[in-house]
Amino acid sequence: MAKISISEAARLTGKSRTTLHRLIKTGELSTCHGARNARMVDVSELIRVFGPLEPVSSEQVAAQVDEQSVTGHSSQSEQVIAQLRQEVEHLKTLVSAKDSHIDSLKQAMLLIEHTHTGGSPWWMFWKR
């Protein structure tokens, strides 16, 4: 029978390309190599796995594309949100560490600036 691309197979079956790739990876759907070593699917293989193929209307294709794009955007957005939350937590930790370091430096400065109440500076003890 005819060999078609995975994109065309997705259109004919009403499934997403991701679904077809997953089936190929698990061995449920077999492929062959066409021109320029591109993966091709035999129509008879699609019929074996999915049953009789029904023509897909352009409205169904548009709805499937919209669904895939919304799903793709929402999962991508969720990933971005998760990464941003991690970054915010990391930055909070850094700010806390910085504040702690500043406090310790202030204490050190107070100790350094402390003046000796004796008559001469502390380093002049050897001149006596």
Note the pLDDT tens digit of each residue in 21-44: 999 999 988 888 877 888 888 888
Distance CA 40, CA 26 (A): 16
Architecture of domain 1-56: Orthogonal Bundle (1.10)
Predicted TM-score (pTM) of this structure: 0.42
80 Cβ contact list (under 8 Å, min separation 6): none
- Quick check: 10 pLDDT over 70? yes
pLDDT in the model for residue 39:
85
Using pLDDT thresholds of 50, 70 and 90, give the confidence band for residue 15: confident
The tokens for 68 are: 């895939």
DSSP 41: E
The residue among 124 and 6 whose pLDDT is bigger is: 6
User: How confident is the model over 73-116, as pLDDT tens digits?
Assistant: 677 888 888 888 888 888 888 888 888 889 888 888 888 876 55
pLDDT in the model for residue 74:
75
In 3D, which of 68, 61, 49, 72 has the Cα closest to residue 14?
A: 61
The residue among 64 and 11 whose pLDDT is bigger is: 11
The residue among 31 and 117 whose pLDDT is bigger is: 31
Q: What is the 3-state secondary structure (H, E, C) of 13-37?
A: HCCCHHHHHHHHHHCCCCCEECHHH
Contact 3, 42 (CB under 8 A): yes
- Quick check: 46 pLDDT over 70? yes
> Residue ranges per domain, the chain?
1-56, 57-109
